[in-house]
Structures are given as structure tokens and as C-alpha cells.
Amino acid sequence: MKIIKFNSDELTPALALVNSVVLSKNALPILNDVSIETKDDGQGGVIAELMASDGETWLQWKASITEAETGIVICIEAKSLLQALRNLGGKSVTMEINDEKHIVTCKYDNGKFSLPYDEPNEFPMPVSTVDNCNEKRIDGKKILTAIERAGYATANDELRPVMNGVRFEFFADGMVAVASDGHKLSKYKDLTITYDNSEDQTIYGFTMPKKPCNTLMNVLANTIAGDVKVVFNDRCFTVNNTQFKLTARLIEGRYPNYDSVIPKTNDKIISVDKSAFISAMKRVLPMGNSTSELVSLTFADGMMTIAAEDFDFSKSASENIPCDYPLTSAPMSIGFKGSTLLQLLQNVDGDTVKIALADPSRAGLITEGTPNNVYEYTSLLMPMLLSD
């Protein structure tokens, strides 16, 4: 009989992370499982490598265990194992593996539970990124920031699946992360991450699907600080360090030319205090129409008026905020979807935001008030029609 000994508080967080990849309903029963494999840690001890997958994304995570022989591989239903372990409160657990009955029994000081296990040869292995691959080492926290700043703008479009992810591209002057759903766009460029493509001028990049993006954010928020290795080709990618490895299939297809839709001639540049803008939006937006979420911004006489109205329920609100709109310029009003505008504002760093406009029918740009030499952030929002 094979035995794995571990502390529930050490294995449970790792199991919770990999379980986030598992779908609630799977076509293959084996995809409900977590694969547990004991390996040599290279320092005379042993670790458990946990792996889960939905058939498109694979997450592997190394967890500390107390005792086991190397080479043990079993697949157990992830949800049931997690539910059983997360309430043990740091108890020591001995997992006994019965090969004849295909049952694992987890014993602790005052109880036990048993679960069936599946053969590991049925578990799908991660796709390979060894062919025609590109490789880059990047600070994990910088990737986390890039996904956070761009990922909220991804689409849910069955007809254009390439829009349902974050596009990463590497240039000699920085790494770009961009996402758009056709109504809003978010572009984040880290100027400290460079890639030497001077020889052939090829654009190196990939489009990461939304689910791996969310999984990677969760993983990077919980992993050790430092660099991760990013390897990608035209079909899949991996991100890994000494603690984890995330592998996923990429979204195939050509990503639209995002730079071509970012206006270059918006000549009305208005600076506004960010915290005042966000606070006013939170007060005004609930008084507007809950379906359209239309909010109007009117600029005149050095002030910005934020207004919303719901005719059906006789609700309305407006607030004035100082801005640097020229006193000599003609008044201008433009409408936006309030919840999306608020989302864009909350992703801007610094104390001020800059709004660049051309006219009420063209997209507005929102950028940070103070440029820096570390990153550039630009967001775009299409306007909504204001009623007369």
C-alpha cells in the first residue's frame, strides 16, 4: 500500500488554485480530477505536483508534503477532495492508496474519509510549446499588472473569438497588452520589457484567452516574487517558475490593428481630478436609466457637469466638477455608458485623468494625467447618443 503524508493547510491552498481550472461540467469524467504526482524536490525531500485541466488549460502547482515515496501518480475528483480537506484546520493527514479497490483513504487524528481514484494514463497531458517557440523571462508582477489593466476590456463574442482574450505583443521599446470588445479598448504598454526584433521586424506576440488570463492573475497573486519564463508559439503558451506551470491553447486568428482605432486627432484635452470624478460618477449613475446606464458629460466655463436621468421613474442627478476646459471654447456634451466609464477611470493610476475628445460622435480617450518612463496606459470608449 502506498502512503502520502501531508498537512492539510499546506496542500489545501494549492488544491484550491488548480481546482479553479476545472469546469463544473466536463465531457470527459477525468477532467473532474486533479492529478497528484510525488516527485523529488532536488534537496533530498519530496513534493506533490498537482495538475488540473479543462482540456484547453493546464495548471501545475508544487505543494509541500511530509512524507511519500517518489513516483506515485493518482487522479482524484478535485472538488470532493478540496471540500474534505479545507475544513480540517491544519490536521496531519495520511493518504493510503489501495490499488486493488482503487480507493484512497485519508486518515487524521479523529476521523477519515475515502474517495475513488482514476488511472493517471487517462488524464490529458499539456500541449507542447517546443516547436518554433519564442521565449522571454519577465517579472511575474509586471505580467499581473498588464493583465489587470487590459483584461477587463475583453469581449464575449462567439462570432469573433479572437476578441475574447488579451493580446500580448513584444517590441524593441516595450511589451503591449491590449483588449477590446468593440465598445471599449484598454492598452497597457510596459516600457521596461523589451524584445530585440530589429533583425526581421516580426511582431512577436500571442492572444491569451480570457480564462487562462484570469487563472494566471490568480496564480501570480499567490506565487513567489520574481521572474517567470514565458514560452509561446502560434498554437499555445506556457508561463512557469519554480512553483507553478500554466499551459494553454492560444486563440487563433489575426488580432485587429488596435492602434488604427485609437484616435490621433482628439484635440480637446481636459484634465480632471480622478477621485472627484469617480466619487461623482458613483453618486450620479444610480439615478440614471438602469438599462442604458447613459451618463452625459458637459464641458463649459471650466467645469464638467456629470448628469444622468431616468424618465420612467422620474429620477435624475447632476454634479459639477472643476476641470481645465478652456473658458473661451464652445460648450460640448458627450454621452457614455456610465458603468464602463467608471471601470476605465478606476484603472487609471495617479491623481488626475486626461480626457481627449474630438466631437460627441467620436470615441473618447482616457489617459493618465502625468506621463512616466515605466509604462503607458490608454483606454478608449465609444460614445452613446444623447437625446435632445
pLDDT tens, residue by residue, 135-180: 899 999 999 999 999 999 999 988 899 999 999 999 888 999 999 9
Provide the pLDDT for residue 223: 85
Reported confidence tier of residue 201, pLDDT bands at 50, 70, 90: low
What are the chain's domains? 2-122 (3.10.150.10), 134-260 (3.10.150.10), 263-381 (3.10.150.10)
Q: With CA atoms as reference, report the closest residue to 293 among 149, 181, 183, 164.
A: 183
**Higher pLDDT, residue 133 or 345:** 345
Instruction: Spell out the residues 6+ positions from residue 141 whose beta carbon is closer than 8 angstroms to its own.
Output: 220, 225
**Residue 344: strand, helix, or coil:** helix
pLDDT digits (tens, 9 = 90+) for 81-133: 999 999 898 899 999 999 888 999 999 999 999 999 998 998 999 987 667 78
Reported confidence tier of residue 320, pLDDT bands at 50, 70, 90: very high
Q: With CA atoms as reference, report the closest residue to 278 among 332, 349, 179, 365.
A: 349
pTM for the structure as a whole? 0.89
Highest mean pLDDT of the ranges 212-226, 253-267, 274-288: 274-288
Provide the pLDDT for residue 327: 74
